[in-house]
Every structure is written in C-alpha cells, then in structure tokens.
C-alpha cells in the first residue's frame, strides 16, 4: 500500500486514550513498515495536556511505546517517527486559537487530514473553527463514534459538519470494518464460486454475530451510563458487520458500490414492533462475579454510574432481513461487557443435508458452519463432517483453517492502520456514509424508546458468564443455541 503524495495529519485529542492506544501506534507501524507513509508526511498533535513539543514527546514516549510492536520497538524507526511529529497547544473551544494551527500547517505539503479523537460535543465547534480560518479546503475530516445520541442528534451533527465539508471529505470511522477477517469475508464470498451459491436462505439456517468483552466500563462509567450497549455497539459495529455479511455482490469494490449494497441491507431490516421487543430483544446488566479468578464489581457500583442505573451492558437481538436472499433467516446479534471471554466472531450455520444415509449425526444442526473470528486471534474456520478412522461409518466434526499468520509471511495490518492509510489515500469504502448511519439509527430507535419508557429493569447476569439466560432462551425458541453453548 504505497502513498504517492504527502500529507499533514492533524490529531485533535492528541493526549487522549484513543490516540495513545490506537492512532499513534497505527501510524508508527505504517511508518516502520517503510513505503506506506510519504517521507514528507507530518503529524501535528493538538492537545491541552502538554505545554510544548518536548513535553508532548515525553508523553508519547511514556504512553505509546507499550502499545506498539509486540516484539519490541526499533529505536531507530521510533526516533525517525517522532521526527514527524509537531505539537500545538490550543483551546478547542476558542475559534481564534485556530489561527495558530493554520500558521503551523499552512506551509506543510499534501492533503490535510483532521482526526477528531475527541468527544462528539466538540465535533461541530472544531469543524466551524477550521472553516473560520480556511482549513476546510483540500482536507478530510475523520469522525469517531459515537456520532450522536439518537437519530435527531446524529442528524444535527451531520447537518452542521455537512455545511463545512462535503460528504466525500467526511470519514466516519468504524474500526471493525478495517479488520482483516472482515476484508477476507468479502474475498471469500465474492472471489470464490464455492460460497456465493450457498450464501442465501435455501442453505443458511441462521447467522450469529457476537462482540463480547471481559472488561467492564473501567474509567468510562459516566460516559457509558448515558450511552449503553445498544448505542455503543449495536447501532454501529454490529449493524455494520451484519450489512457486510448480508450484502449483495457489489458492481465493483469502489466506495459507493460497496456502501450502496450495505445501505440496501440496513433499509431491508424488518422493523421491530414495540409490542414484540420482549420476544426479540434482551437487555441485561452485569452484577458482581469472578473473571479469570478475580472478583469484579457490579455495574451499579462502578465509578461514575448511578446506583439505580437501568443502563444496559448486554444486548441480544433477533434480526430479520426482508429481501429475497435472506427472508426467514434469523440473524442473532449479541454484545456485552463482563462476559466470559473476549471474542468477536461471525458464525454462519448452514442447513443440514435433507436426507442422510450416513446416520443422524449428518442431520444435526451446526454440522456445517463457517466461523469468522475477528478477535482475539483472526481466523476463518470451515466446519464439516468426515469419517472417523476405524470400523464403521462414524462421522466427526473436522475443520479447515485459514490462519492468516501461517498462510501469509507478511504481518497482518491492524484495523486502525488500514483505515488511517485509507483516509490519507482517499479511499472511502470502509467508512460509514451518512445514509447508512441514518438507516441504522432509524432501525434502533424503537428499541431505545421502548427501553427508556419501560419500568422493567435490565435482566441481571453474573460477571464472567455469557449474559442473561433469556438470551439463550431466545435462540432455543428457534431450535438453535450460541456457539459456546454447543461446545
């Protein structure tokens, strides 16, 4: 992935957690790899928690190094990376301070990328301040989630930003779309005649998409208590993964062709009748428990969380897509905190053979399935049945692995690294278009509103488990179960 032109990467929130853990490590890995970042490219960090460049570099040395290469840091590459970094201390709430920013970057070459690693309340003020000093031309703006609290607030932010930047300049980032297995899912489906004919209602029994975390809300209690799992994970990450799994083959892999097909999926989601939410949606909240031998507290006792909070930390949904390819196929979405394991995966359960001369094992659910693991290890595994060695026709489940680190010698690219390079290169396919975002909010809002009005609290679940029992019961009604329950 070669970048031919130079760039100026302006990082707002330059001392924030996201910048330290993800953005700067991703830029360093691209720099270290050689040939990915133009030699003349510059990084300009904007923050208030450092006084000058020397102070900021000390901060980066202290907080970023531990998040870069697992095999240690090449000090020569690290020193040359730090040489790319400039720093400016300005007050983001004061538009007049942006004159200083213009003075710093106006002499730097190439496309300007403004990455807003800040709270969403600062998105519009920053964009307006950039426009006030003429920095919205020859520029791209990257917006982190959450982009709004509901459809109305999301539209308000998009309207305001859209007055300053064109849609082609706006990159709404969802890092799950940059993960290697998600890209390989597209290759698997659209590059192989083997899978595409099977990728439909006639051959697929159900699909599960799970994003589970062992961690609780950590130091984000105040933010999370006003957000919840439905807004934080379902409206963006899970619905984006669903649209990738279910989309029709695009005309090409250009940005609008891919996003047009994703949008069609989001618009085909069956609206959830508020009267049916209890049947197709489960919300839960973690209580105290034990994870890997360590006692962890209940959500309601976490710092920043209201003691009587009804915010959900777990969501499970049954989703249907009303089109010819997927009619009648249930999609089960699940996400939660303080669960039994940290895992993100997509499970495609194919239908059993219609008749088996080989015994009942060939007719069992899940005999044939595809598991796309996004984290912690990125793999794609195809399960099928084979004869066990020995006497008789006894079948056993076997699997074929696509383990990327074994098949490809070159190292895998982290999601943020890929997405940041795409921003600099002007590739929009892996970023969320406004109409996609609106369609996702429109589908989620009835659930949000019903839960807000409900007097029933979230269902409790012990930390270190897989969530409320109602989640498993919902799948049992359809004759299936979550993958870990079968194993």
Binding site, annotated residues: 48, 91-92, 145, 175, 179, 213, 232, 337
| Sequence-distant (≥ 6) Cβ neighbours of residue 258 within 8 angstroms | 247, 250, 429
Q: Can you name the residues that pair with 462 across neighbouring β-strands?
A: 287
Q: Can you name the residues that pair with 369 across neighbouring β-strands?
A: 349, 383
DSSP letter at 356? -
Q: Which of these, 67, 84, 72, lies nearest to 31 by C-alpha position?
A: 84
Cα–Cα distance, 455 to 444 (Å, whole number): 19
Cα–Cα–Cα angle for 292, 295, 298, rounded to 5 degrees: 120
Token look-up 């693991």 returns 373
| CB distance 429 to 255 below 8 Å | yes
Cα–Cα–Cα angle for 455, 459, 463, rounded to 5 degrees: 145
| Residues with a known catalytic role | 237
Pairing of strands 459-462, 369-375: unpaired
The tokens describing 284, both together, are: 């839960």
From the annotation, which residues make up the binding site for substrate? 175, 179, 213, 232, 337
DSSP state string for 140-196: EEEEPSP--SSHHHHHHHHHHHHTTS-GGGEEE--GGGGSHHHHHHHHHHHS-TTTG
| CB distance 49 to 91 below 8 Å | no
The tokens describing 381, both together, are: 């595994």
Q: Return the sign of the alpha-carbon dihedral for residues 446, 452, 456, 459.
A: positive
């Amino acid at each position: 992935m070669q970048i031919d032109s130079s760039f100026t990467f302006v990082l707002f929130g330059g001392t924030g957690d996201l910048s330290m853990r993800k953005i700067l490590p991703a830029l360093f890995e691209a720099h270290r790899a050689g040939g990915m970042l133009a030699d003349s490219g510059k990084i300009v960090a904007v923050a208030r928690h450092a006084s000058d460049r020397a102070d900021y570099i000390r901060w980066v040395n202290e907080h970023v190094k531990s998040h870069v290469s697992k095999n240690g840091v090449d000090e020569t590459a690290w020193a040359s990376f730090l040489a790319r970094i400039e720093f400016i201390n300005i007050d983001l709430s004061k538009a007049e301070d942006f004159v200083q920013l213009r003075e710093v970057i106006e002499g730097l070459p190439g496309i300007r990328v403004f990455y807003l690693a800040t709270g969403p309340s600062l998105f519009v003020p920053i964009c307006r301040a950039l426009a006030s000093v003429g920095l919205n031309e020859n520029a791209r703006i990257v917006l982190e989630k959450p982009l709004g609290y509901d459809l109305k607030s999301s539209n308000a932010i998009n309207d305001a930003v859209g007055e300053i930047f064109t849609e082609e300049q706006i990159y709404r980032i969802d890092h799950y779309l940059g993960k290697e297995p998600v890209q390989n899912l597209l290759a698997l489906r659209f590059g192989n005649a083997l899978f595409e004919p099977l990728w439909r209602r006639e051959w697929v029994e159900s699909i599960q998409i799970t994003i589970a975390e062992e961690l609780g809300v950590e130091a984000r209690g105040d933010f999370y208590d006003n957000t919840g799992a439905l807004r934080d994970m379902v409206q963006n990450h899970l619905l984006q993964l669903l649209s990738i799994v279910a989309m029709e083959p695009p005309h090409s892999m250009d940005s609008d062709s891919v996003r047009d097909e994703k949008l069609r999926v989001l618009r085909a989601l069956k609206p959830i009748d508020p009267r049916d939410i209890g049947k197709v949606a489960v919300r839960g909240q973690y209580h105290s428990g034990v994870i890997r031998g360590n006692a962890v507290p209940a959500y309601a006792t976490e710092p920043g969380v209201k003691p009587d909070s009804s915010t959900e930390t777990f969501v499970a949904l049954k989703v249907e897509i009303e089109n010819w390819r997927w009619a009648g196929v249930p999609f089960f979405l699940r996400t939660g905190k303080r669960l039994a394991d940290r895992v993100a995966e997509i499970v495609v359960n194919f239908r059993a053979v219609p008749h088996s001369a080989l015994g009942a094992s060939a007719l069992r659910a899940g005999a044939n399935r595809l598991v796309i693991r996004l984290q912690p290890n990125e793999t794609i595994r195809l399960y099928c049945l084979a004869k066990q060695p020995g006497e008789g026709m006894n079948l056993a489940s076997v699997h074929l692995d696509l383990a990327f680190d074994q098949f490809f010698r070159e190292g895998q690219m982290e999601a943020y690294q890929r997405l940041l390079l795409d921003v600099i290169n002007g590739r929009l396919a892996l970023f969320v278009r406004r109409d996609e975002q609106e369609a996702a909010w429109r589908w989620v809002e009835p659930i949000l509103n019903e839960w807000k009005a409900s007097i029933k609290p979230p269902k409790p679940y012990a930390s270190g488990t897989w969530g409320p029992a109602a989640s498993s019961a919902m799948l049992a009604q359809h004759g299936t179960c979550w993958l870990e329950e079968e194993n």
